[in-house]
Amino acid sequence: MKRLYHLRWGIESSFRKLKYDLGCIQFHSKQDDFIEMEIYAHMIMFNTVSQINAQAYVPQSHCKYMYIINFKMACRIIHKHYNCSSTDIIFLKVLRRISRYTVPIRPGRKDKRNIKVKAPVCFLYRVA
């Protein structure tokens, strides 16, 4: 049972990245078709960021921990350069900028989660 839970953990962490790092909790519409379209757009962006992260170089020095790319910063950098013309120079620039933001992998870390359950909120009803 423990092994099955750990096999599922990658899927759980991917949904957490999709919801919180890409902002898939708050929608721009109330209609179901547009919400579905926005979820698909977030999934495409998630796959794009994941593929670019796989191509970025993460320098591993002789430190205590291994390092990976910070997914949220990668999302912001790619979102900023997404409308630019897709030349190789811009792509290499994005890869270099992404590889600057790394976080350590700390195995066995268990923090208490203080996440309050909230329903999805449309942007029209949010308080500024």
Domain containing 15 equals 2-125
Q: How confident is the model at residue 36 (pLDDT cuts 50, 70, 90)?
A: very high
pLDDT 10s digits, 4-28: 877 888 888 888 888 888 888 888 8
Q: What is the predicted pLDDT for the residue at 14?
A: 85
pLDDT tens column, 53-112: 999 888 787 888 888 899 999 999 988 887 766 677 888 888 889 888 988 888 877 766
Q: What is the pLDDT of residue 37?
A: 94
The pLDDT, as a whole number, for residue 125 is 58
Burial tier of 77 (Cβ tally within 10 Å: 0-12, 13-18, 19+): buried
Question: Looking at the 3D structure of the chain, how many domains does it have?
Answer: 1
The pLDDT of residue 118: 72
Separation CA 49–CA 107 (nearest Å): 24
Q: Estimate the crossing angle of helix 71-80 against helix 88-100, to 10 degrees.
A: 150
